[in-house]
Amino acid sequence: MDMSDGNGISRRGVMGGAAAGLATAAAAGQASAQTAAPAASDGVAKEDPTTKYAKPPFRSQSQPWPGLAGQMDPRPDHGETSYKGSGRLRGRKALITGGDSGMGRAAAIAFAREGADVAISYHPDEEPDAREVIDLIKKEGRIAVALPGDIRDEALCARIVADAVQQLGGLDILVNNAARQQQRPALLDITSEDFDATLKTNVYAMFWLTKAALPHLTPGSAIIQTTSEQAYDPSENLVDYAMTKAAMMNFTKSMAKQLGPKGIRVNGVAPGPIWTPLQVSGGATQEKLQQFGGDTPMGRPGQPAELASIYVQLAAADASYATGQIYGAAGGSGQP
């Protein structure tokens, strides 16, 4: 039954016209949205993280401690060609221990590309790797300071900080990253010399460097420790190393409480299995090295470049409420 109003326009006609109008509008809107949407090539391409880097098995390889990234196969990715900065650390002054390789190198490259001047400390035997990092920092137009030496010496740690402050013109960021890792199958195989060397490199140096740096740090400064999943889930053959990483985690949380009122933030990064010289210079058995990272949900070890943005975030001003935190990156395993 057709119900018409006094003007001869049927209700059915009105409803039909409205529906047609809505359909036309919807089609036009959809076309407009399709026109406005960027093509896939205009965005950032998605990558499958499980296939982004090499998976085990890896070639059996060994180097004398402390090892060189430049002699590893495959060579680790520290972000040399991939990290793009955006000025998040412009004008900052950073000191990074172990800045020649691993997460320290990735942080140094990223910091420089974010606008920071960077000093790196490293063991003298790591000079070839360190020179590459210094060149990369300079390429960004930033001040680069090379500070070789064995940080198991308290006087050297004080001198490293003093030299960094003098040559950079100040200090805003301290990254305690340098570490010693030597696997031993049993406690009876860990000598007192081993134990002493690991604790002095990983814990004493952090303590000495932080003490020396504190008089130079002002509100807005940041301290970052590289701890490890080993702090939470220690391996049976890394007893002394795991102990030091737990100590670093606790130091981070204690110092965050102590320095929070002064406006200085203290955080940590807890990597899982990351492809660095630690593994090929005595940090893993050859059997574990060949299958390194294969037991993670991603089926591969991480690369230092994949953690660079975490160090940047913890150093940047927009992370102003993050302190006393441990940021994990373990490919789906480990803690936190």
Q: How many CB atoms within 10 Å of residue 97?
A: 25
Active-site annotation holds for 241: yes
HEC profile of 99-127: CCCHHHHHHHHHHHHCCCEEEEEECHHHH
Detail the DSSP E strand segments found in 22-180.
93-97, 117-122, 144-148, 173-176
Q: b/e per residue, 251-269, with b = 16+ CB within 10 A?
A: bbbebbeebeeeebbbbbb
- Residue 237, SS3 per DSSP: coil
Q: Please name which of 178, 251, 249, 184 lies closest in space to residue 192, comparing C-alpha atoms.
A: 184
* C-alpha distance from residue 140 to each of 116, 136, 171, 309 (Å): 10, 7, 19, 17
* Given 122, 241, 311, 327, the catalytic residue: 241
Q: How many CB atoms within 10 Å of residue 211?
A: 13
Tokens of 168: 């950079």
- Is there a contact between 37 and 263 (Cβ–Cβ < 8 Å)? no
- Is there a contact between 197 and 282 (Cβ–Cβ < 8 Å)? no
- In degrees rounded to 5, what are phi and psi of residue 335? -135, 165
Strand partners, 91: none
Which stretch of DSSP H or E encloses residue 248?
A: helix 239-259
Give catalytic residues, as residue numbers: 241
